[in-house]
Every structure is written in C-alpha cells, then in structure tokens.
Structure 1
Amino acid sequence: MSELLFETQGGIATITLNRPDSGNAFTTEMLADWEAALRECIASDAIRAVVLTGAGRIFCSGGDVKRMARNAASGQTAWERGQYLVNHVHRIPLTVLELDKPYIVAVNGAATGAGMDMALMGDLRFAAASARFAESYIKVGFVAGDGGAWMLPRLVGTPRALEMLWTGDFVSAEEAERIGLVNKVLPDDQLMSHTMAVAERLASGPTVAIRLMKRMVRQGATSSFPDALAFAASCTGVVAGTEDYREATTAFAEKRKPVFKGR
C-alpha cells in the first residue's frame, strides 16, 4: 500500500500518513508524496480545506530512527545529514507555508520528534484523548531539526518550550489543550468526525475571506501594526468584490443562510 493516502471529497483534501506498523515514521518516498499532495492542495481551486492525520494508533513518530542509525553506521557525514533535511524533510514545512487554505491536523495518537513538529504546522489541531506529544529529539542525542524550536515557543511560550525540548518528556492531550498546544481534545472515536465537521464548515464558507484572513494572521506575526492595518485595508477591497461577499450581505438582509460559491 502507498505510504501516504490522499483523497478529496466535497472540497476537503485528506492526507493520511500510512505506515502504521512503523509509527508512521517518515521515509523519503512518503515525504515526496506528501509534498506532491500539498502542491495539489495549493493549486486546486476545488480544494478549500486540508486535513492531515495518521493511520493506526500513532499519529507520527518522526524520522525513522533505525534508518538514521544505519546511515550513521555507514559513514553518513554531517553535511549529508543536513542536506537530507533540507532536500526532503524541510520540503513539508516550507510547502505548508505556501498553503493559504485551512490546514487542520487530527492527532490520533502519539506525536513525537519531527512528528510533533509536523503537527505544530497545522492552523488548527484537534487531538484524540489518547494522543501524547513529545519533542523527543533529546532522547536520541539530537536537536529539533524540523522547525519545532521555532514553532513551539510561539504556541506555549519559551520556558515551557525549552522544558519540552530539553527533557523530551510526554505531554498528555489534556495538558496539551491546557497550554494551548491543541485547540480541543475529543474522545478517540469522535476525533475524525469533529475534525471533518470543522473542515466542512470552512470548505463551505467564503473561501476568499478565509484565505485572506490566514494571510493576514501570518503577515501580522512579522509586521508592524500600521503595516498590518494597511494590508487589512487591501484585503477588504479584494473581499468586497467577491460573489460571496455580495451573497452574504444579501442573505443577511433577507434573513436567510448564505450559500457560498468560493469566489
């Protein structure tokens, strides 16, 4: 079977990491398929929301430690290791940065190391009650190589991020929700139904406004307040010219539910 499953239905694309017997650890082939799936999500106007999850009982265990050990034993150099990250692993977060559509992560089990970092890239994160999170790099004498040291402090603050990075200890789903690492914790059997309901709501909403708001939030993280206001004014001008805006205002006046077309 494919190491990554990709399907689209009703404006929603679902990406499923599919190596359950190996904790959905990355392979070069999986990463290539993952990037290709994300590229399709970026390019296709028919796709309005994207969901990421893992097959089986583990969301993602990150890099394949056994493969890493074999590479080290075979004489892989530090330069080669760094290049592998740049040429393969880093392609995922960099491509996600290009995606201005909702990217929702359903964490169905343990998310460790680079697997946790991949979860952090979601705009929204929902976790099963059985999910656990660990920046486990330190357990194998490694450093966070997939963006965790940049993303985690922005979500939970520097002291808590350093605690997780330095200890590699697990954080429960309940604790993850308390510290703002995930949006909501669901019973295991309700995780995907809840995630898909949120995805469906976003996919059926005013697409241009949703995408521009994501761009506004991202730009606001690195810009001054006056620059953010200027960008907001530009986005307002764009949205005001959409069919969905006209439909929404008309529906409001007519006291009915709007029907959005995504344009």
Structure 2
Amino acid sequence: MNEVVKYEQDELGVVTLTLNHPETRNALTGTGITEGILAACDRIEHDPTVRAVIITATGTVFSSGGKIDEMKRQIGDGFSSAVLRQEYRHGIQRLPLAVHQIEVPVIAAVNGPAVGAGCDLACMCDVRVASDKATFAESFVKVGIVPGDGGAWFLPRVIGMARAAEMSFTGEPIDAQTALDWGMVSRVVAPEDLLVTAQTLARKMAVNSPHAVRMTKRLLREGQTSSLANLLELSAAYQAIVHKTEEHAAIVNDFMAKKAARQADRK
C-alpha cells in the first residue's frame, strides 16, 4: 500500500511532503492524511537538519478537504455534539497547531483545487505557490458547516478580513490569478513548473543560517499578535543569540577579509 503522505528530504535539508490519496482527491479526513502530516511534523521538529518544508499533492487536486463519507458518519446515531466536539479537538484540529508550530519555513505547492480544509491547509503554510490549474474555496457553508480547522483564523491573516468574509460566506472558489491578486499566493506557474519553483524557493531559504531563519519565522509569527514593544524585546533577545552563532561570525569575517583584500588592491 502506498504511503498517504510521502516524506522526502534532499541534501540541503528541504523536506517535501506529498499528499498521496488521489482516489479521494487527497481528502484530509478518513484517509490517514491528517495523521500522516502530524507524524511528519513531529519528525521535522525533532530533526535539526531540516531547513524548509514543501507540502504538495499527487494527482490533479491539492486536497478536497473533508471527506463527505466522514460527514455522513458524524451525523449518524451515537455521535452527540459533545462527542463530535472532542473528535474535532483530538482530530483535525491538531493539524493547524502542528503545521503552524513548525520552526522552519513551510511552502504549499498547490497543484490543483484546494477545497475547504484543503484551502485552510494551504493557508497554514508560510508561503503558497500555485499551478495555474489551482483554485481555492473556503466552501464549508456549501455543505452546511463552519470552518472547524482554524480557517477563520488563518484566512483573514492571509488575504484580509473583507476578502476572507467573501470567500467564507459564499463558499465560491477563486482561481489562481485571483489568488495572486489577493495575496493568497506569491507566484502562479505552469503545472510542470510548480514543484521546481517551490524547490528553488525552498533552497534559497535553506542556504541561509538555520538559526536566523527559525528565529525570523518566530518573530513574524509573534508580530501577528504581539505589541510593538513586546516584539522589540523579543527581537533584541533573538538578535543577541544569533550575533554569537558560528554562521554569523563566518559571514562577517568573510566580508571583512574581502574588504581588506579590496583595500590592499587599491594601494
């Protein structure tokens, strides 16, 4: 049986997670994909050699979100509201917490439709690049439910409240070009160029100081909810740490050596 989430790491420490359940269009529930991503997040967090992560998918769909068969099960006898609440808390709601807490940059390479929780998974990532075949739909209202996986927290932070409200209240999809115009994705490329584009971007991140990149990501995260004064305090503490890293010393010493060589050449 094929892995439902493939885990691959290259020589620069870029991990690619590939959702691999095309028969359900990579549904996050009822397939093992959520559990696979959670296991991968735990592995990444315990592996200091990881420098960046790409999340993508096989087939023509990034993720169809929640599996309708699972929704049918949940409305059946034996599933009270109290039981369902706990199922969400201990199920798919672990996903946004795990992805959001990854210390290294996470790039979503969206190859096709990202629907419902699939759209939210893309928004959990730091950066999104899309195939021109991609679409995005915060479509929970279309099946009479709400975004139970944190989409109401992520989506407004990605595209702003008014556009998030439009997507959430209508449930209608937007195409890749609209997603680019709205700032949901940073690049739109041909399908055959998607993974190469994401890998190139990830490697540009991976070659930088891992300490500086991880702390920069944390500062960006804290800046979403922190006051300026508190963020400056944290920035000062992080800056004091990275000033003492080997990577920073090597860069400064190399710069000074080249500067001295240029000055010597002028004499």
Aligned counterpart for 1:13 among listed residues 15, 27, 32? 15
Work out the CA distance in 1 between the residues paired with 2:224 and 2:142.
32
Greater shift, 171-180 or 84-93, is seen at 84-93
Aligned counterpart for 1:22 among listed residues 19, 24, 28? 24
- Check the 8 A contact 1:125/1:182 in 2, yes or no: yes
Work out the CA distance in 2 between the residues paired with 1:23 and 1:252.
50
Secondary structure, aligned partner of 2:91: helix
Secondary structure, aligned partner of 1:223: coil
Residue 72 in structure 1 maps to residue 78 in structure 2: no
Work out the CA distance in 2 between the residues paired with 1:180 and 1:108.
17
| RMSD across aligned positions (CA) | 1.4
Aligned counterpart for 1:150 among listed residues 134, 153, 157? 153
Counterpart position of 1:259: none
Larger Rg: 2
1:159-198 paired onto structure 2 within 5 Å: 159-198=162-201
- Check the 8 A contact 2:26/2:33 in 1, yes or no: no
The code of the aligned residue for 2:93 comes to H
Any stretches of 5+ residues in structure 2 without a counterpart? 260-267
The superposition leaves residues 96-135 of structure 1 with CA deviations (integer Å, 9 ceiling, x where unpaired) of 2321111111011000001100110011110101100001
Residue 141 in structure 1 maps to residue 154 in structure 2: no
Greater than 6 Å deviation, 4+ residue runs: none
Work out the CA distance in 2 between the residues paired with 1:175 and 1:185.
10
Work out the CA distance in 1 between the residues paired with 2:85 and 2:25.
23
Counterpart position of 1:4: 5
Work out the CA distance in 1 between the residues paired with 2:255 and 2:178.
40
Secondary structure, aligned partner of 2:256: helix
Q: CA deviation at 1:201?
A: 1.5
Work out the CA distance in 1 between the residues paired with 2:18 and 2:258.
40
- Check the 8 A contact 2:135/2:176 in 1, yes or no: yes
Relative distance call for 1:255 and 1:170 in structure 2 (3 A) is farther
Work out the CA distance in 2 between the residues paired with 1:136 and 1:84.
21
- Check the 8 A contact 2:100/2:125 in 1, yes or no: no
Secondary structure, aligned partner of 2:53: strand
- Check the 8 A contact 2:21/2:31 in 1, yes or no: no
Q: CA deviation at 1:78?
A: 1.9
Counterpart position of 1:36: 39
Work out the CA distance in 2 between the residues paired with 1:142 and 1:243.
51
The code of the aligned residue for 1:246 comes to A
Any stretches of 5+ residues in structure 1 without a counterpart? 257-263
Greater shift, 62-71 or 120-129, is seen at 62-71
Q: CA deviation at 1:46?
A: 1.0
- Check the 8 A contact 2:8/2:15 in 1, yes or no: yes
Q: CA deviation at 1:229?
A: 1.1
Secondary structure, aligned partner of 1:79: helix
Query: Kindly, what percent of the aligned residue pairs are identical?
Result: 37
Work out the CA distance in 2 between the residues paired with 1:255 and 1:167.
58
The code of the aligned residue for 1:248 comes to I
Work out the CA distance in 2 between the residues paired with 1:178 and 1:28.
33
Greater shift, 26-35 or 43-52, is seen at 26-35
The superposition leaves residues 5-29 of structure 1 with CA deviations (integer Å, 9 ceiling, x where unpaired) of 1121220111111111211002362
TM-score normalised to structure 2 length: 0.92
Aligned counterpart for 1:130 among listed residues 116, 129, 133? 133
The code of the aligned residue for 1:6 comes to Y
Work out the CA distance in 2 between the residues paired with 1:185 and 1:96.
23
The code of the aligned residue for 1:58 comes to V
- Check the 8 A contact 1:59/1:107 in 2, yes or no: yes
